[in-house]
Amino acid sequence: MSQFGIRRIFLSLRVTPSQLRIDRILDEAGHSADPVRLMRIFGIAANTAVKYVKTAHPQRFMLDSTSP
């Protein structure tokens, strides 16, 4: 398949390849909550992987206002 054929498919879906990648990483973060797994699967940096996990699981990173 040529790059023009692929581009046409994405245009008809009204989505970009980077949007699909972001969605896929976020979906995986929602299932695993393991930044190391995201780093291995998608080849992303540690801080990026942690951001995806925090976005997918915000309740795990909430600060407790009663703790010192």
- Residue by residue, DSSP assigns 17-42 as HHHHHHHHHHHHHHHH--HHHHHHHH
Domain assignment of residue 3, yes or no: no
Global pTM reads 0.77
Q: How far apart are CA 51 and CA 23, in angstroms?
A: 13
Number of residues assigned to the chain: 68
Looking at the chain, the whole-number percentage of residues with pLDDT higher than 70 is 93
- Whole-number pLDDT of residue 65: 65
Confidence of residue 67 (pLDDT cuts 50, 70, 90): low
Confidence of residue 68 (pLDDT cuts 50, 70, 90): low
Structure tokens at 17: 């390849």
Which of 4-8, 15-19, 47-51 shows the highest mean pLDDT?
Answer: 47-51
Domains identified in the chain, total number: 1
Q: How far apart are CA 42 and CA 37, in angstroms?
A: 8
- Whole-number pLDDT of residue 18: 92
Domain assignment of residue 30, yes or no: yes
Domain assignment of residue 42, yes or no: yes
